[in-house]
């Protein structure tokens, strides 16, 4: 694992954008595995800025996203498709037909997951997979559990996630109860993994993931077995690693 220790979110975003843009410059046909959530927003903003300056070209890039809510259409402003369009795709010259997100409107979970695994295979696998990390060590929607689930699968969202999401919806009934997510093998098959962690809320998970045992109760710990992982973490996220003497 290569760890970049940065001061704050601004530096983290710039470093992450640097690594992603290096990938695109080295391989214009790169397949980027992309992530949603609050953490990558700054990196996407930086990429858009460099694109607008003429320093980056996404015209040959393909993207596959980690996950999507089941039951939401791409037009819904809570969908991850909408997030990707508004935070990145609408602002750069990526060919939208080469951007893939699991199909939230496919009601047949098995079909949706099989279709997405086939998409990942058909694009030739992932060159660089971008990841955030949950405060509980989750990656994508791979939540702590009894086993690592290898391929794309449907997960039942936890009660706390549903309640946390309720504020974005008119009523509780409209909050998605399930999501489709890439599995651990999908993620581990990427040539390179870039994990971003910012803030105190990630400090324990970061320590457990990279300095604790590899166990499915801490999904990100599996990344210890990947031979090309880059972690960019800010001071707040590194607090426990430092306190425990890991760094
Ligand atoms: P966040 O989520 O970027 O919004 O903190 C990360 C994650 O849960 O994977």
pLDDT at 172 over 90: no
pLDDT digit string, tens, across residues 113-126: 999 999 999 999 99
For residue 125, CA distances in Å to 10, 12, 114, 128, 188 come to 30, 26, 15, 9, 11
User: What is residue 161's predicted lDDT score, i.e. its pLDDT?
Assistant: 80
For residue 193, CA distances in Å to 14, 33, 222, 232 come to 17, 9, 12, 11
Domains of the chain (ranges plus CATH)? Answer: 2-189 (3.40.50.1360)
Q: CA 59 to CA 54: how far, in whole Å? A: 12
pLDDT at 162 over 90: no
Between the CA of 166 and the centroid of ligand 1 the distance, in Å, is 17
Q: CA 114 to CA 8: how far, in whole Å? A: 39
pTM of the model: 0.97
Please work out whether the CB of residue 204 comes within 6 Å of at least one atom of ligand 1: no
Between the CA of 43 and the centroid of ligand 1 the distance, in Å, is 14
User: What is residue 166's predicted lDDT score, i.e. its pLDDT?
Assistant: 87
List the 178-181 sheet strands across, edge first: 67-69, 178-181, 153-156
The CB density around residue 54, as the number of other CB atoms within 10 Å, is: 7
Active-site hit among 11, 18, 91, 136: 136
Tokens of 91: 């602002």
């Amino acid at each position: 694992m290569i760890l970049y220790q940065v001061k704050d979110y601004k530096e983290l975003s710039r470093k992450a954008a640097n690594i992603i843009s290096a990938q695109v410059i080295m391989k214009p046909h790169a397949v980027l595995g992309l992530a949603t959530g609050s953490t990558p927003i700054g990196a996407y903003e930086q990429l858009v800025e460099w694109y607008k300056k003429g320093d980056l070209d996404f015209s040959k890039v393909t993207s596959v996203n980690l996950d999507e809510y089941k039951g939401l259409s791409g037009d819904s402003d809570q969908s991850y498709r909408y997030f990707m369009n508004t935070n990145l795709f609408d602002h750069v010259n990526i060919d939208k037909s080469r951007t893939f997100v699991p199909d939230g409107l496919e009601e047949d979970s098995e079909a949706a997951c099989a279709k997405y695994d086939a998409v990942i295979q058909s694009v030739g696998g992932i060159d660089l997979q971008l990841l955030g990390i949950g405060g509980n060590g989750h990656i994508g929607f791979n939540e702590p559990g009894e086993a690592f689930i290898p391929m794309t699968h449907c997960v039942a969202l936890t009660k706390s996630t549903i309640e946390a999401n309720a504020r974005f919806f008119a009523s509780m009934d409209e909050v998605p109860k399930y999501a489709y997510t890439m599995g651990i093998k999908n993620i581990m098959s990427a040539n390179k993994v870039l994990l971003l962690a910012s803030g105190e809320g990630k400090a324990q998970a970061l320590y457990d993931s990279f300095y604790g045992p590899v166990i499915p109760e801490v999904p990100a710990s599996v990344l210890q077995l990947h031979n090309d992982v880059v972690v960019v973490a800010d001071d707040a996220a590194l607090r426990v690693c430092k306190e425990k003497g890991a760094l």
